[in-house]
Amino acid sequence: KAGVTQTPRYLIKTRGQQVTLSCSPISGHRSVSWYQQTPGQGLQFLFEYFSETQRNKGNFPGRFSGRQFSNSRSEMNVSTLELGDSALYLCASTLTAGANVLTFGAGSRLTVL
């Protein structure tokens, strides 16, 4: 079966712009979580969605937001981009809310100029 699909794979934005990233989970998986990966901070948890509801959020400013649709697909949005938002954004899906065995997508590489 298809894995976790993230689009776009690469994108370049300029400071002040906003960006939307998409994640389609494995069929049947209802929970989607997002992580930011940077060389300096490593992998950090952004948020988790289940049944179209955000269950928890990591320590990120309000510029980072997300949502989940009825088909479990999720999007994350970053507004007013800063240089420090340049990162690999990873999406992971799992069967149920709060479950630990995550299946990751290949990520979306965001570069902010």
Partner 1 sequence: AQTVTQSQPEMSVQEAETVTLSCTYDTSESNYYLFWYKQPPSRQMILVIRQEAYKQQNATENRFSVNFQKAAKSFSLKISDSQLGDTAMYFCAFGKGSGGGADGLTFGKGTHLIIQP
Q: By CB under 8 A, tell whether 81 contacts partner 1.
A: no
Q: By CB under 8 A, tell whether 98 contacts partner 1.
A: yes
State which of residues 32, 68, 93, 105 lies at the interface with partner 1 (CB under 8 A): 105
Cα–Cα dist 113/109, whole Å: 13
Pairing of strands 42-50, 87-94: unpaired
> 95 - beta bridge partners?
none
Q: By CB under 8 A, tell whether 89 contacts partner 1.
A: no
At 97 the three-state DSSP class reads coil
Q: By CB under 8 A, tell whether 11 contacts partner 1.
A: no
The owner of tokens 């989940």 is: 68
Residues near partner 1 (CB under 8 A) are 33, 35, 42-46, 48, 50, 55-56, 58, 88, 90, 92, 94, 97-107, 109
